[in-house]
Amino acid sequence: MTSLKVNINGVDFKNPVIAASGTFGFGEEYSEYFDVSRIGGISSKGLTINPKAGNEGRRLHEVTGGLINSIGLQNPGIDEFIELEIPKMRSLNTVILANMGGGTMDDYLAGASKLDKADVDIIELNISCPNVKSGGMAFGIKSCVAHEVVSEVRKVTKKPLMVKLSPNAEDIVEMAVKCREAGADSLSLVNTFKAMAIDINKRKPVFRNIFAGLSGACIKPMALRMTYEVAGAVDIPVIGMGGIMNAEDAIEFIMAGATAVQVGSANFVKPDIMLDIIDGMEAFMKREGIKSIDEIRGIARG
């Protein structure tokens, strides 16, 4: 029997394919199109302590092999998430990761305390959103700042704490090590790359904030490299993402050392693409006579 099961920080996943934050809503939107319970887990839209309207102006721009987004963490706030979204997410029968962003240390602490008491399996601490001015990514650039926020959040929650890293960090390996020292139970990476686009007809940047976040197939080689580096530097589970479009991409991340993967922008290409990825991974394992995903984790590291 081939098994795709994985365990991350004591939480059982039926397979290692998780919907990435911000690309899958709260899961309900896609449940019309396919059996969402088949995927390993769902990371919620990035949540903040207070509801957030997000950014003005254009929010999306397509590029070769991906897109740039400037959503700006639009979300209903943690209270509404707990009251209205968690029960619906639970009924989707898969693991729930609450992705949480923040503007200030106090926001992070207040949010984490609330989520600690909520019915979520894992808190994914987003210190890497490039689309909000105060905080967000600022916490994810310098590893000493990240260390501080992760250690403080660690004190207010007993839930598994996954910290989501930014590819824009000064030094992603040092960042990973510091987050681990500060008490992270697992790491996920990468968030979007800081990028931009210019509207040549209007002769100005496409986005109001000028810079926004790049994701999709075009970032995969860089995301894979970072996953490889980080998986070699820490002894906690690493969840890789960035441009995963098919089973082969997902297997590459596992072979680089990732325990599981997240799939984001690919959901826009085909709504049930995660099922193709799961089925494709299983088919590969069968073909190669691999019984458990543990057998290939990190195998490319030699």
Partner 1 sequence: MSSKYLKAKVASNEKIAEGIYRMVVEGDYSANPGQFYMLRAWGVEPFLSRPISIHGITDAGIEFLYEVRGTGTEIFSKLKAGDELELLGPVGNGFDLETIKGKVAVVVGGIGIAPMYEVMKHIKDSTVDFYAGFRDEVYSVDYMKEYADNVIISTESGSVGHKGYVVEQLDASKYDYILSCGPTPMMKVVKEMGEKVGTPVYVSLESHMACGVGACLGCTCNTKKGKERVCKEGPVFLGEDVSLDD
Ligand X SMILES: Cc1cc2nc3c(=O)[nH]c(=O)nc-3n(C[C@H](O)[C@H](O)[C@H](O)COP(=O)(O)O)c2cc1C
- Rounded to the nearest whole angstrom, what is the least distance from the CB of residue 25 to partner 1 in the complex? 4
CB-based contacts of 288, cutoff 8 Å, min separation 6: none
Q: Which one-letter amino acid corresponds to residue 186?
A: S
CA dist 45 and 47 (Å) reads 6
Stretch that binds ligand X, among 5-13, 133-141, 177-185, 241-249 (CB under 6 A): 241-249
- 218 included as an active-site residue: no
- Answer for which of 14, 45, 180, 297 binds ligand X (CB under 6 A) is 45
Q: Which of 259, 282, 281 is nearest to 13 (CA)?
A: 259
Asked whether position 268 contacts partner 1 by CB under 8 A, the answer is yes
CA dist 132 and 154 (Å) reads 23
> Total number of residues binding ligand X (CB under 6 A)?
26
Binding partner selected for residue 46 from ligand X, partner 1, none, CB under the kind-specific 5 to 8 Å limit: ligand X
CA dist 151 and 144 (Å) reads 11
How many residues in total does the chain contain?
Answer: 302
Q: Which of 230, 120, 62, 107 is nearest to 241 (CA)?
A: 230
Shortest Cβ contact with ligand X: which residue? 22
The interface with ligand X within residues 80-139 (CB under 6 A) comprises 99, 126, 129
Instruction: Record the tokens describing residue 297, joined without a space.
Output: 């984790």
- Rounded to the nearest whole angstrom, what is the least distance from the CB of residue 298 to ligand X in the complex? 21
Q: Which is nearer to ligand X, 22 or 257 (CB)?
A: 22
Asked whether position 221 contacts partner 1 by CB under 8 A, the answer is no
Using CA of residue 38, residue 39, residue 40, residue 41, what is the dihedral sign? negative
CA dist 86 and 5 (Å) reads 23
Asked whether position 73 contacts ligand X by CB under 6 A, the answer is yes
Binding partner selected for residue 271 from partner 1, ligand X, none, CB under the kind-specific 5 to 8 Å limit: partner 1
Asked whether position 167 contacts partner 1 by CB under 8 A, the answer is no
x/- mask, partner 1, residues 180-219, rule CB under 8 A, reads ------------------------------------xx--
Q: Which is nearer to partner 1, 29 or 295 (CB)?
A: 29
Q: Which one-letter amino acid corresponds to residue 123?
A: I
CA dist 128 and 110 (Å) reads 18
CA dist 125 and 184 (Å) reads 9
Q: Which of 191, 99, 182, 97 is nearest to 137 (CA)?
A: 191
The interface with ligand X within residues 8-27 (CB under 6 A) comprises 20-23
Binding partner selected for residue 219 from ligand X, partner 1, none, CB under the kind-specific 5 to 8 Å limit: ligand X
Q: Name the site residues for partner 1 (rule: CB under 8 A).
A: 22-25, 29-30, 32-34, 45, 53-54, 56-67, 69, 71, 74, 216-217, 245, 265, 267-272
